[in-house]
């Protein structure tokens, strides 16, 4: 150790800590950088762990992003794995370190300290939770244990219907196991709204996953045949060979708490825009911190790799600027918050979202409007077009984009990425209309789904497309008019809806009431819009149900609409016609 050099200590690797270390070295060759990692690996792809369990990623080595030798030889960064930082002494600016291999303790001084301690899986306090055969997935050793247990198992139970739970369900099914997924909420994928999450639930069921929604675990026991019995909140017992607990994570703030650093109401470390804590010599990055939502401005916990990497970069820049140890001028960066942009795939279905859901917007008191769209992912005349189910949330006042959710088999992530990029620039729905995006028939359409969703939302805000509320559908006194063809109507329709096919509508204007509001519906929304433009010019009071019967089908998934799927039949015509 050279006492003349500034010393940067980083507790934890993976995304935030490893990025911070590498960025700090790129900015400064003069400082000493040391990383302490409690586990055996300093930088690994934990997002790939479910796919290692499922043999999609065959080699464990493919999960390793970098090792201590890489950090030393390429960046001159000292990495100590299987080394735990057990205490921070803020007054002396040092940490106490325990070598887990030798049991030797030592003190390490710092000029700047970065906490990248991440998050720990939530381990519910339930009877039998520590029985053999019950696992959590966070590290490579965890995945090894699950992989070995799955090889001897016939049945698996997954607790939690979030991203990890769904990815584990798919991978265990791939291994030939019978999978049951237990989720306390009434839907899978809590970041999405229920009607959008329903598409994923359908896909899970279609691939043999038994879903138990609105049902949690109450305890576990070892049965005489050496299998596990899982007691549920509804009083039933499920027999299984292994259990994966995937009900979420919480920030690992034990070190920060003991040091007296400020924590937020959600349990994460509070930081400023440079990722600095309330101690001017300590920064924190990654899953351990609370961050501001860019839309609601509320504090959130967002355990995602993308934000963690950006936070590591911001923290490193702030540290080198503060220590003034770079040969070049350093201009500070700022981490202003997150949208929570995320994506996962389940049995070939891509699910993506950005920005808050309706639930979060309501909680924040944010006024909003919403539209649904079901366009093809590329031009309909080119073979292989797949529908994308899109929901866009936007401000009533000025059309600012607040959030988006999309589900489909192709082209989903690209559209959400475009919308997320627009949101980062403070864009409005009118800006989506004008975006110039790539077009060739195998990639998109002349009017891309992003353009279309902006057009629908923009038309609504301009008063060119009044929208009816799906939530009021069963209690409305409006006349419900289905403008699909007679054959489509006969195949299934909303109760009490009357059929006025679009192609015959001009000849039947006298059959429509002048003194009663009319709500229009079709397959996916476009024909209803055409009908609206026609009828409003004849003085009728008309609104459109956004997204048509395809959206109504999704609403039935939420389970509290008073109807069943058989009321409307099965619809697959999610085409923009």
Please tell me the distance from the alpha carbon of residue 86 to that of residue 73, in angstroms, as a whole number: 28
Q: Around Cβ 100, how many Cβ atoms within 10 Å?
A: 14
Q: Around Cβ 69, how many Cβ atoms within 10 Å?
A: 9
Tokens linked to 480? 């419900």
> DSSP per residue over 492-542, as a string?
---TTPEE--GGGGGGGGGGS-SSS-EEEE-SSSHHHHHHHHHHHTTT--E
Minimal CA–CA distance to 460: which of 554, 528, 380, 514?
A: 528
Tokens linked to 527? 């024909």
- Asked about 344 being catalytic, the answer comes back as no
Q: What is the DSSP letter of 17?
A: H
Tokens linked to 548? 């048509």
Burial 246-281 (b: 16+ CB within 10 A, else e): bbbbbbbbebbeebebebbeeebbbbeebbbbebee
Are residues 119 and 288 in contact, defined by beta-carbon separation less than 8 angstroms?
yes
Please tell me the distance from the alpha carbon of residue 288 to that of residue 117, in angstroms, as a whole number: 6
> Residue written as tokens 């279609």?
206
Are residues 392 and 546 in contact, defined by beta-carbon separation less than 8 angstroms?
no
Are residues 208 and 197 in contact, defined by beta-carbon separation less than 8 angstroms?
no
Helix/strand/coil (H/E/C) assignment for every residue in 90-153: CCCCEEEEEECCCCCEEEEECCEEEECCCEEECCCCCCCCCCCCEEECCCHHHHHHHHHHHHCC
Q: Which of 47, 344, 438, 522 is catalytic?
A: 47
Are residues 233 and 182 in contact, defined by beta-carbon separation less than 8 angstroms?
no
Bridge partner list, 105: 98
Helix/strand/coil (H/E/C) assignment for every residue in 219-236: EEEECCCCCEEEEECCCC
Q: What are phi and psi of 410, to 5 degrees?
A: -155, 145
> Residue written as tokens 């409690």?
38
Please tell me the distance from the alpha carbon of residue 334 to that of residue 314, in angstroms, as a whole number: 6
Burial 23-62 (b: 16+ CB within 10 A, else e): bbbebbeebbbbbbbbbebbbbbbebbbbbbbeebeeeee
Which residues are designated catalytic? 47
């Amino acid at each position: 150790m050279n006492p003349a050099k500034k010393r940067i200590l980083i507790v934890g690797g993976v995304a935030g800590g490893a990025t911070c270390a590498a960025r700090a070295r790129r900015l400064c060759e003069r400082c000493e950088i040391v990383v302490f990692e409690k586990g055996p690996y300093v930088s690994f792809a934990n997002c790939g762990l479910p796919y290692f369990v499922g043999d999609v990623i065959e080699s464990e080595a493919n999960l390793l992003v970098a090792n201590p030798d890489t950090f030393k030889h390429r960046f001159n960064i000292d990495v100590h794995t299987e080394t735990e930082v057990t205490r921070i002494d803020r007054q002396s600016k040092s940490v106490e370190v325990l070598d887990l291999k030798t049991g030797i303790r030592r003190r390490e001084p710092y000029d700047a300290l970065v906490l990248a301690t991440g998050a720990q899986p939530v381990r519910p306090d339930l009877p039998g939770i520590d029985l053999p055969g019950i696992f959590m997935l966070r590290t490579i050793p965890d995945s090894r244990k699950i992989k070995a247990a799955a090889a001897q198992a016939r049945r698996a139970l997954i607790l939690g219907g979030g991203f990890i739970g769904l990815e584990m369900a798919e991978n265990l099914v791939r291994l030939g196991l019978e999978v049951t997924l237990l989720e306390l909420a009434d839907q899978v994928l809590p970041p999405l709204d229920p009607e959008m999450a329903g598409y994923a639930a359908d896909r899970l069921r279609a691939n043999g996953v038994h879903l138990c929604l609105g049902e949690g675990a109450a305890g576990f026991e070892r049965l005489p045949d050496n299998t596990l019995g899982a007691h549920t909140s509804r009083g039933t017992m499920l027999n299984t060979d292994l259990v994966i607990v995937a009900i979420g994570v919480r920030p690992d703030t034990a070190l920060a708490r003991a040091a007296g650093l400020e924590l937020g109401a959600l349990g994460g470390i509070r930081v400023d825009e440079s990722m600095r804590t309330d101690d001017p010599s300590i920064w924190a990055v990654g899953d351990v911190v609370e961050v501001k939502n860019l839309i609601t401005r509320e504090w959130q916990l967002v355990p995602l790799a993308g934000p963690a990497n950006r936070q590591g970069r911001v923290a490193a820049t702030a540290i080198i600027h503060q220590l003034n140890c770079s040969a070049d001028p350093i201009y500070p960066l700022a981490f202003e918050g997150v949208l929570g942009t995320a994506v996962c795939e389940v049995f070939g279905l891509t699910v993506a979202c950005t920005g808050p859901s309706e639930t979060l917007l309501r909680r924040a008191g944010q006024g909003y409007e919403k539209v649904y769209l079901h366009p093809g992912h590329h031009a309909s005349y080119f073979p292989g077009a797949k529908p994308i189910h899109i929901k866009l949330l936007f401000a009533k006042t000025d059309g600012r984009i607040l959030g988006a959710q999309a589900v489909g088999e192709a082209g989903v992530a690209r559209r959400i990425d475009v919308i997320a990029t627009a949101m980062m620039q403070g864009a409005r729905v009118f800006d989506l209309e004008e975006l110039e995006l790539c077009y060739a028939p195998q990639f998109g359409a002349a009017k891309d789904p992003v353009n279309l969703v902006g057009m629908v939302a923009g038309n609504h805000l301009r008063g060119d497309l009044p929208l009816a509320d799906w939530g009021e559908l069963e209690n409305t006194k409006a006349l419900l008019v289905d403008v699909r063809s007679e054959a489509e109507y006969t195949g299934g329709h909303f109760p009490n809806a009357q059929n006025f096919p679009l192609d015959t509508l001009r000849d039947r204007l006298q059959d429509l009431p002048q003194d009663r509001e009319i709500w229009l519906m079709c397959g996916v929304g476009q024909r209803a819009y055409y009908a609206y433009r026609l009828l409003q010019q004849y003085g009728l009071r008309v609104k459109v149900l956004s997204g048509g019967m395809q959206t109504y089908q999704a609403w039935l998934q939420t389970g509290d609409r008073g109807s069943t799927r058989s009321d409307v039949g099965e619809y697959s015509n999610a085409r923009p016609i």
